[in-house]
Amino acid sequence: MASDICRVLLVDDDEDDYIMTRDFLSEAEQLTFKLDWVDSYPEGLAAIAQNQHDVYLLDFRLGKEDGLELLQAALKLGCTKPIILLTGVGDHDIDQKAMATGASDYLVKGNTLSATLLERSILHAMERKRGEIRQAQLMAELATANQELKDFAYIVSHDLKAPLRGIASLAVWLLKDYGDRLDENGKEMLQLIDGRVRRMGDLIDGVLQYSRVGRVRDEKTNVDLNQVVAAVKDAIAPPVGLEILVDSELPIVFVEKTRIQQVFQNLISNAVKYMGKPEGQIRIGHTTDNGFWQFFVSDTGIGIEERHFEKVFQIFQTLAPRDQSESTGVGLAIVKKIVELYGGRVWVTSQVGHSSTFFFTLPQTLEDRDV
Amino acid sequence: MKSSDPILLVEDDRIDVLNVKRGFKDIHAENPLYVAENGEVALEFLRNSQNPKPALILLDLNMPRMNGLEFLRILKNDPGWRLIPVIVLTTSQEDQDRRHSFELSAAGYIVKPLDYDNFVKILQTIYQYWLLSQSFEGG
């Protein structure tokens, strides 16, 4: 490190301050400093515009302007190097304003200022600035990635489905118009095409639904989960012989209604789908634990082997053979995504052949996780 | 709309055009059906005084050269055309497309289903509704 030269610009109208700073920097242990000095606001700004220094030290008093104004002007120019403000004893307001404006640090001149302190402040300021720049880059990359994802979802919804619909139509028309000239084998092939087309359509819809969770935001409101569950029960219309019971008075939560509805809709319809017999019971309820609500949806269905407990929450993972299953493996992935977005957790316990219980938690003070 | 009034379909996908033609035959709609493969061609069709003025326009959104929303904006800003009802027929389920369509006074927004039989049902419902509905011109 000793070979690195750190170029410092001091903007200060007091020559004594320059001499002090120069002496302090010459004592530095970790870096070699090269100090330049200008004594006015305009010269300071001109030098900052040249961008030839690694760090700037601005005195607060600069004739008719002050260091804060120079700091603002420098940032406006797009200065990406750390700026440290030098203030007098007891100027706490100025110190705070400086930090709020975007100074990397402030140093109080006077007896407490030392060579070690100055050097440490410069080193930390440079490190922090590098971190800030890196973070800004990451944020910009994230914004680009998010935009690409949105565009991608749009393209999927438009462009991937159009040819698929064409194939579907052609298969149906072939069967209708030329069915009498095909043997059973040929007809079966056309039906297989039709089935695969539907499956592909469902998968595209699934991807879209899954990506919508992060993409499309609704207004959060106070949502009465008792009403949500009642509405979901109505919508699912379970077969006779299948009982859906709500065990507890569910709470009112501050969330996006469509999202929480999706969570219950997917969990309950899964329970119905994997009952595996004409009669059964689904129970819904909740407990409160340590600042979290813990909800459960349990069923007396076919159950899940323990080795699949994680897998069922991954997108496109289904446990039934693809040909026989109408499910695309998106529902539980959406549940997981929504619950985690709200800062909760989701998991399952099960006894094969007997029952499964899906649990999820929501913090009682709901905050959103995404940026 | 009368069963003899012309209908304009603005659609670039050949199979989707066949879908509508075939569907019209299946529901016994005998209205003359004109097809334009994008917004530009549709505008040319409307501008040409040799052509009849359509009583209904079925409009795809995603098309080359001039897409459905661009076409709709021009159509609805023209005093001579703005009263022609336009039904959007699209694959897009995006909220923004729905919103823009209705902001531009679309008379309906239908997401094309994947299978043909469903499509015919939808087509029949749309068609019967517009047969019932009086139009302003010639009505």
pLDDT attached to residue A320:
66
Chain A hits for B22, CB-CB cut-off 8 Å, are 173
Alpha-carbon torsion angle B22, B26, B27, B33, nearest 10: 30
d(CA A72, CA A77): 9
pLDDT attached to residue B139:
37
CB contact under 8 A, B95 and A154: no
User: How near does any CA of chain B get to the CA of A190, in Å?
Assistant: 13
Chain B residues 5-44 within an 8 A CB cutoff of chain A: 13, 15-16, 18-19, 22
User: What order of strands is seen across the sheet that includes strand A280-289?
Assistant: A242-246, A280-289, A292-299, A355-363, A346-351
pLDDT attached to residue A2:
44
Chain B residues 43-72 within an 8 A CB cutoff of chain A: 62
Whether complex ipTM tops 0.85: no
Chain A hits for B64, CB-CB cut-off 8 Å, are none
SS3 B57: strand
User: How near does any CA of chain A get to the CA of B101, in Å?
Assistant: 16
Least CB–CB distance from B114: residue in A173, A197, A208 = A197
**How far apart, in Å, are the Cα atoms of A234 and each of A130, A159, A223, A265, A327?**
56, 35, 17, 10, 21
Angle at A171 between CA A169 and CA A175, to 5 degrees: 115
Least CB–CB distance from B116: residue in A161, A172, A208 = A172
Residues A74/A83, Cβ–Cβ less than 8 Å? yes
Whole-structure pTM value: 0.61
Which residue out of B19, B60, B88, B91 would a mutagenesis test of the A interface target, given it has the greatest number of A Cβ atoms within 10 Å?
B91
| Sheet strands (E) in chain B | 7-10, 33-36, 56-59, 86-90, 108-111
pLDDT digits (tens, 9 = 90+) for A105-130: 888 888 788 888 899 999 999 999 99
CB contact under 8 A, B114 and A198: yes
> The dihedral of CA A199, A281, A258, B69: what is its sign?
positive
Chain B hits for A157, CB-CB cut-off 8 Å, are 91-94
Alpha-carbon torsion angle A225, A231, A236, A238, nearest 10: 90
pLDDT digits (tens, 9 = 90+) for B65-99: 899 999 999 999 999 999 999 999 998 877 888 99
pLDDT digits (tens, 9 = 90+) for B5-54: 999 999 998 999 999 999 999 999 989 999 999 999 999 999 999 999 99
Residue labelled with tokens 């004409």: A278
User: How near does any CA of chain A get to the CA of B34, in Å?
Assistant: 20
pLDDT attached to residue A1:
43
Task: Return the biggest CA–CA distance within chain A.
Answer: 104
DSSP state of B8: E
pLDDT attached to residue A98:
86
Angle at A91 between CA A86 and CA A96, to 5 degrees: 80
pLDDT attached to residue A323:
56
d(CA B30, CA A361): 59
CB contact under 8 A, A172 and B62: no
Please identify every stretch of chain A with a pLDDT value under 70, giving residue numbers as ranges. Answer: 1-3, 157-158, 319-327, 366-371
What domains can be seen in chain B, in order of their start residue? 7-132 (3.40.50.2300)
Q: Which of A301, A93, A330 is nearest to A206 (CA)?
A: A330
